[in-house]
Structures are given as structure tokens and as C-alpha cells.
Structure 1
Amino acid sequence: MDILVLIGRILFGALFLNSAIGHLTQSKAMAGYAASKKIPAAQATVLASGVLLLLGSVSVLFGLWADLGALLLLAFLVPTALFMHNFWTVSDPEARQADMIQFLKDMALAGASLMLLAFFAFAGDDLGLTFTGPLFNID
């Protein structure tokens, strides 16, 4: 089972690591989009979310308090879905559809992050191929 969890961690974490790199290296362009969505302090918010993504993805990828990493990714995904992909406010049908798809993707990934948080915290030190055990303990 350990190898399956490792492969899953790599596949899951790589998505967010790639996004973190984009947030940190293309923050100006992303801040423009965030500002168009009425996000306050768009540049600072993009950089802060990039750091959140980086910490969360590295934590999950390497098994460094992977439960905390999953929680950090959850903390990124829910506000992103609600504020950046608020399809219910969009009048253009194509833009509305695109935002709805992104909203649903983010919420599905938030659900997966929540399950990972529970899984890592419950499995504890029994889960192999990690650098640390969980930070949280769920019985």
C-alpha cells in the first residue's frame, strides 16, 4: 500500500507544485486576473497563495507532515473556488461554463484534500515512505 500512496502523493502534489511555481513566477499576470475578480491586494494575495501552494504541495509530495500539507491545500482551494470561480455571478454563458468547471474542479480537489488530511492523520506512523508522521492525530 505504501507505494500506491506514494504514487498518489506525487500525482496529487505535482499539480499544486506546478501551480505554486506559476503563482510565484507569473504573479504580475495572475494579479491582473485576480484584480479583475475584485480580489483585494491582488499582487500580495497571489504571492501569498503561491507560498501556501508551495508549502502544501511539498509537504504532501515528500510526506513532511502530509496531513498539514493537505490542510494548507484545502485552505487554498475553498477560497479560490468561491472568489475566483464564482460562476453564479457571470452573465456570459461561455465564461460562466468555464468558471463552473473550475469551481467544481477546485471543490473536488478540496474534498480530496480533506480526505487526505483524515487519511494521513488516521494512518499515523503506520504509513511508510514519508519523512515524518502526521502532525495531527485522528482516532
Structure 2
Amino acid sequence: MDVLVFIGRILFAALFLGSAVGHLTQTKAMAGYASSRGVPAAVPATFGSGLLLLLGGLSVLLGVWADLGALLLVVFLVPTALLMHAFWKETEPQAKQMEMVQFNKDMALAGAALMLLAFFAYAGGDLGLTLTGPLFDLG
């Protein structure tokens, strides 16, 4: 089971680490898009969200307080879904559909991250292939 969980962590974290690189290296360009979606203080928000992605992704990947890392990803995903992919505000059908897909993706990933949080906080120390045990104790 240890190896399966580790492979899952790699696959899960890869998405967030790739996004972190974009947020942190193309902050102004991404902030321009965020601003067009109504995000206040778009440059600091983009940079801050890049840090959440980086810290959360590395934490889950390396197994360093992976429960906290999963929580950081939830903190990124839920506001992103609500602010950046507000499909209910779209009037054009194709744009509405695209934003709905992105909203649902972010919410599904947030659900998976919440499950990881519970999983690591409950059984994290017994999983193996982690550098630390959990920060939270749900056992």
C-alpha cells in the first residue's frame, strides 16, 4: 500500500507543482487574467496562491506534514473555483460550460485534498514513504 499511496501523491502533487511554477514565474501575466475575473489585489493574490500551490504540493509529494499540505491545497482550490470560475455569471453558453468544467474540477480536487487531509491525519504515521508524520491528529 505504501507504494500505491506514494505513486498517488506524485500524480496528485504534479498538477499543483506545475501550476506553482506558472504562478511564480509568470505572476504579472496571470495576475492580469485574475484581475479580469474580479480578483482584488491580483498580483499579490497570484503570488500568494503560487506559494500555496508550491508548499502544499511539496508537502504532499514529500510526505512532510502531508495533512497540512492537503489543507493548503484546499485553501487554494475553493476560492479559486469561486472567484475564477464563476460559471453562473457567464451568459455565453460555451464560456459558461468551460467555466463550469473548471469549477467542478477545482471542487473535485478540493474534495480529494480533504480526503488526503483526513487520510494522513488519521493514518499518516503508518503509511511509510513519508518524511514526517501528520501535523493534525484525527485518530
Measure, in 1, the Cα distance between the counterparts of 2:124 and 2:61. Answer: 16
Q: CA deviation at 1:124?
A: 3.0
User: Take 2:23 and 2:58, find their aligned partners in 1: how far apart are those partners?
Assistant: 15
Q: What is the deviation of 1:92?
A: 1.1
Can you give the 5+ residue segments of structure 2 that lack an aligned partner in the other structure?
none
Q: In the alignment, is the contact (CA less than 8 A) between 1:124 and 1:137 conserved in 2? A: no
* Superposed counterparts of 1:1-139, under 5 Å: 1-139=1-139
Q: Which amino acid aligns with 1:98?
A: M
Q: CA deviation at 1:75?
A: 0.4
| C-alpha distance in 2 between matches for 1:124 and 1:16 | 21
Alignment root-mean-square deviation, CA: 0.6
> How far 1:28 sits from its partner (Å)?
1.2
Output the CA distance in 1 between the equivalents of 2:16 and 2:51: 11
Q: Note if contact 1:65-1:135 (Cα within 8 Å) is conserved in structure 2.
A: yes
Tell me the secondary structure at the aligned position of residue 132 of structure 1: coil
Q: Give TM-score, length-normalised by structure 1.
A: 0.99
Calculate percent identity across the aligned residue pairs: 70
How many Å separate the matches in 1 of 2:9 and 2:118? 14
Distance 1:99 1:84 in 2: 8
Residues matched between the structures, number: 139
